[in-house]
């Protein structure tokens, strides 16, 4: 294989390895962003559940239409969050998310019962007692909902850390393999070039020392092989010229001796 081809292949593999490393880093970043987004949504749901718990306690202690309206707004916000994330929540949470959904539905049912009661201004003793009982149940349900979501948040964080560790290990292995492949190819190319250069250098030195019968005999078909074969042809021509010159010198010396006699 020619040197230019070897260098081109090595360069292509280096670029491929760099592409693998870049894609691995991008994938890891995407996983981190995805997990961060999921944890942010869960954190928002936990906050909404805690707000529902606080408003439920206010409904129990300080019942008013204003608090009830605020509770309704918080419930709608929590409902939107739950519906937006329902698909992956069902996949991730399993039974825990089923319990969250059940608690939320029961909480909504209690609130609808409270809304059916008489307005606060026209509250009678029976409605006040029923409202207090419903508010107590809502407080208990909202606290249970908040506790379930906090438990799910902890599980999701643990799952996220474990997934990041797995992804990090895979990326580390992929980068190590890519780096090892590139390093091996570079070492192979370096060894091949230095070995051929050393062979040529030794051949030049031996010919320079007068060993005109020495041949490099390089069998490779790359640029070094062409150089070695050209050097061998040159050495052969020099050897032929030297032999002719030596023969001519011997003949001339013989003629001189004959003339002297």
Same domain, 94 and 163: yes
Identify the pLDDT of residue 123. Answer: 55
In this predicted structure, the answer to whether residue 194 has a pLDDT above a threshold of 60 is: yes
Same domain, 162 and 216: no
In this predicted structure, the answer to whether residue 93 has a pLDDT above a threshold of 60 is: no
In this predicted structure, the answer to whether residue 160 has a pLDDT above a threshold of 60 is: yes
Identify the pLDDT of residue 121. Answer: 53
Burial zone of 190 (CB within 10 Å; 0-12 exposed, 13-18 middle, 19+ buried): exposed
The whole-model pTM stands at: 0.63
**How many CB atoms neighbour CB 185 within 10 A?**
17
Closest CA to 13 of 171, 225, 194, 180: 180
| Mean per-residue pLDDT, 191-196 | 79
Same domain, 178 and 217: no
pLDDT in tens, 128-149: 788 888 889 989 999 998 898 8
| Mean per-residue pLDDT, 33-42 | 85
Name every residue whose Cβ is closer than 8 Å to that of residue 199 and which is 6 or more positions away in sequence.
216, 218, 228
Closest CA to 39 of 158, 169, 217: 158
Identify the pLDDT of residue 37. Answer: 85
Best-predicted range by mean pLDDT (70-79, 84-93, 203-212, 230-239): 70-79
Q: How confident is the model at residue 118 (pLDDT cuts 50, 70, 90)?
A: low
Identify the pLDDT of residue 149. Answer: 86
Average pLDDT, the chain: 81
* 185 and 23 Cβ atoms separated by less than 8 Å: no
Same domain, 173 and 223: no
Same domain, 71 and 156: yes
Residue showing tokens 């608090």:
67
The number of distinct structural domains making up the chain is 2
Q: How confident is the model at residue 54 (pLDDT cuts 50, 70, 90)?
A: very high
In this predicted structure, the answer to whether residue 17 has a pLDDT above a threshold of 70 is: yes
In this predicted structure, the answer to whether residue 172 has a pLDDT above a threshold of 80 is: yes
Same domain, 165 and 253: no
Where among 182, 202, 220 does a domain terminate?
182
Identify the pLDDT of residue 124. Answer: 59
Residue 204 lies in a domain: no
Same domain, 96 and 218: no
Identify the pLDDT of residue 137. Answer: 92
Same domain, 124 and 225: no
Where among 182, 201, 232 does a domain terminate?
182
Instruction: Count Cα atoms within 13 angstroms, Cβ side, for 158.
Output: 8
**What is the extent of the structural domain holding 112?**
3-182
Calculate ∠ Cα 58-98-79, nearest 5°: 45
| Mean per-residue pLDDT, 163-186 | 83
| Mean per-residue pLDDT, 88-114 | 80
* 139 and 43 Cβ atoms separated by less than 8 Å: no
Same domain, 55 and 113: yes
Q: How confident is the model at residue 27 (pLDDT cuts 50, 70, 90)?
A: confident
* 25 and 75 Cβ atoms separated by less than 8 Å: no
Where is 132: in which H helix or E strand? Answer: helix 125-208
pLDDT in tens, 213-244: 777 776 667 677 777 777 778 887 887 888 78
Identify the pLDDT of residue 119. Answer: 67
Same domain, 245 and 160: no
In this predicted structure, the answer to whether residue 2 has a pLDDT above a threshold of 70 is: no
């Amino acid at each position: 294989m020619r040197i230019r081809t070897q260098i081109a292949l090595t360069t292509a593999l280096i670029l491929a390895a760099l592409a693998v490393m870049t894609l691995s880093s991008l994938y890891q970043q995407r996983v981190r962003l995805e997990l961060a987004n999921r944890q942010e949504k869960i954190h928002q749901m936990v906050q909404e559940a805690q707000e529902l718990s606080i408003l439920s306690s206010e409904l129990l202690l300080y019942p008013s239409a204003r608090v009830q309206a605020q509770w309704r707004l918080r419930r709608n916000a929590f409902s939107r969050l739950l519906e937006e994330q329902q698909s992956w929540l069902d996949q991730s949470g399993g039974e825990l998310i089923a319990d969250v959904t059940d608690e939320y539905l029961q909480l909504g049912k209690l609130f609808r019962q409270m809304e059916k009661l008489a307005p606060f201004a026209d509250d009678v003793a029976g409605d006040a007692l029923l409202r207090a009982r419903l508010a107590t149940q809502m407080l208990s349900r909202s606290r249970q909902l908040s506790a379930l979501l906090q438990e799910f948040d902890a599980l999701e964080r643990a799952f996220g850390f474990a997934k990041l560790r797995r992804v990090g290990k895979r990326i580390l292995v992929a980068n190590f393999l890519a780096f090892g492949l590139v390093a091996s190819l570079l070492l192979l190319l370096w060894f091949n070039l230095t070995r051929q250069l050393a062979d040529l250098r030794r051949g030049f030195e031996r010919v320079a020392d007068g060993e005109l019968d020495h041949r490099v005999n390089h069998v490779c078909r790359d640029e070094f092989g062409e150089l070695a074969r050209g050097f061998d042809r040159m050495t052969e021509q020099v050897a032929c010229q030297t032999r002719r010159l030596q023969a001519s010198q011997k003949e001339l010396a013989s003629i001189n001796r004959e003339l002297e006699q």
